[in-house]
Chain A
């Protein structure tokens, strides 16, 4: 019954303005994600370029990253992608309670991923003495790229929390569904970026 999601105005008619505005916003948001993707791609290019023009890789004196831990953390993030997907599906079908639970699960998993990343940073900086500015191009690329990604996850968690609170308070209603669609797109985008980052930093 996805059709029920088309919002109606006070007269019970289709609110054409909202439908079209939503379409525009989604398209604009998609283009924003493309630019954002270029931002990541540029830094990824920089990393690969520096890595291939430097004196051997990994640079001497830099400890190996903990692949197993990062792999578990990735599973957490991908799990949140799945719950986000079901949150949107349930919203479309009008299952509010399920939608709320799925959104809560996404927020918790996202926060767990951030916690894991914080732990990893802590370990690298204090145990391995690998830092952003003091460990050559490895530290520069690793912390810049994963930091940018972590910032995106953080923004996503904040955004979804606001969405959750708004839904709970009844201000984000069934009639409006740009926010949840954009949030889902964004969350999947952040997932995909992580796949790339995980491959180039931990596997390559």
Chain B
């Protein structure tokens, strides 16, 4: 019997029974959209906590002599701030949050491949977050977010908790990566070929293998650190034959690709927002899609550019320097494609678009300062200074976090059915943008002047710019408060969004906001790219989506 002769009823047509009761609907949900929202809420809560730590840092640095917290506490504060922002905020929001929320809709699927596994991935995340923050109760990790041994071997008991927490959140990431990869490979709607996938899906597709592979390498490094701290098994302690540099290799083998875990999904968001609000097809669709894959691949071959001061052989230094420079090529291709998309477009300055444009400016700047650090001679001078801090905050806050906000202002309408308030949104953007630059731009010249990072007190000559930065950071925080107020206000009283407030063309905008639990009444067929604004939509089978009729599977038809 051929498969075609069988009645349809494959996985694409399958509808889970409607979840009943509050717990199954909103707590232990297997619906990717709810799980996505759970990720976002949890991520933003952790962002508030880690932001509080950031303001503790900036308040301490108001005075050259410190005095707000003790130097030991200061070490704990910046270590947990960095760890939380990377592993509990940016990565979960970019992958588990926006990934879950949007990409299954974009490929015309009813859910991810493994909904139960998805629920498990999510629930590991808040547990590990609480574990990380609980480390303050027992003496938090104090060797920076990179936790280099031998310092981390001698750290307080909370360092062991840190290992366990990051290991667990890594397991969650790995499971998410597997889930997303299978979903994209196997569950696309008919006609949704790889070269018709929206660029946000490409972003997730490039990120998923990084989540799977790089995170596992970090898990090994963390497991070894855990074993050494708890059982005294020598991996990193040089007095027992171990090597602290081994940790650096394993840590950066993960953490450089992790930079792309934190940026590729946001590239995807930018690639959706820019064409929608400039009413023009994205320029160089294939260039953007394939350069994501190139970045993901090259990202595995450059980790030792973080180790130029760790006694790397000179030929290896040159090799890693050149490899790192090559990543600038696919990244530059993207930036030029985005600028070309804007060129001559009818630009609509919505808040989402402002954040996308802000992303473009700040990320490009952060990319350029990255080249200074990838070049061996300048890195030897700048390593361990505030220049580094300035650089990666431009990439991770000016880049990733701006992208997160662009995504929030864009897709909030889809997840809640209401629009975020645009006026408050613009206040948010300008406070955030100005405050951000005030906070992190002076760090570059402070770095050139030789101000070291990771210090609780500093030379009085740096005081003016440090105060300037702290004021900037308070302004930035005000901006973020506007965002939270906006979310709370708009959920209750925001303007009703309707299915497609932006006139966007990807599939998630062709169904109601918020979508029904089964996403699509009928799985659509796809005929082309979603970016051709002058043409009719390239889909069929969507006629019933905005009517009241239930899907055929639920009307008692043969199943």
Contact = CB atoms under 8 A, between A and B. Distances in A.
Contacts of A20: 10-12, 186
B3 A28 contact: no
B6 A16 contact: yes
A133 B235 CA distance: 10
A42 interface: yes
A28 B250 contact: no
Interface in B1-58: 1, 3, 6-12, 14
A93 B374 CA distance: 58
Contacts of B215: 35
Given A20-B10, A132-B231, A133-B231, A42 B216 contact: yes
A38 B216 contact: yes
Contacts of A34: 212-213
B11 A17 contact: yes
B220 A39 contact: yes
- Size range of the interface on B? 35 or more
A21 B179 CA distance: 13
A49 B6 contact: no
B224 interface: yes
Contact of A28 (B7, B10, B178, B234): B178
Interface string A41-84: 11101100110011100010000000000000000000000000
Given A24-B11, A28-B113, A34-B213, A16 B3 contact: yes
A9 to B, nearest CB: 9
A35 B232 contact: no
B240 interface: yes
B62 to A, nearest CB: 42
Contacts, number: 123
A193 B245 CA distance: 26
B185 interface: yes
Interface in A110-164: 132-133, 136-137, 139-140, 143-144
B243 interface: yes
A62 to B, nearest CB: 11
Given A27-B186, A28-B114, A34-B213, A39 B246 contact: no
Contacts of B185: 27
A45 B224 CA distance: 12
A42 B113 contact: no
The binding surface of chain A is classed by DSSP as helix
A45 B250 CA distance: 9
B316 interface: no
A192 interface: no
A38 B181 contact: no
Interface string B212-247: 110111011100100100011111000011110110
B178 A136 contact: no
A146 B264 CA distance: 37
Nearest to A13: B6
Nearest to A23: B186
A181 to B, nearest CB: 16
B249 interface: yes
Contacts of A53: 243, 245-246
Given A20-B11, A28-B114, A38-B216, A50 B233 contact: no
Interface of A: 13-14, 16-17, 19-21, 23-25, 27-28, 31-32, 34-36, 38-39, 41-43, 45-46, 49-50, 53-55, 59, 132-133, 136-137, 139-140, 143-144
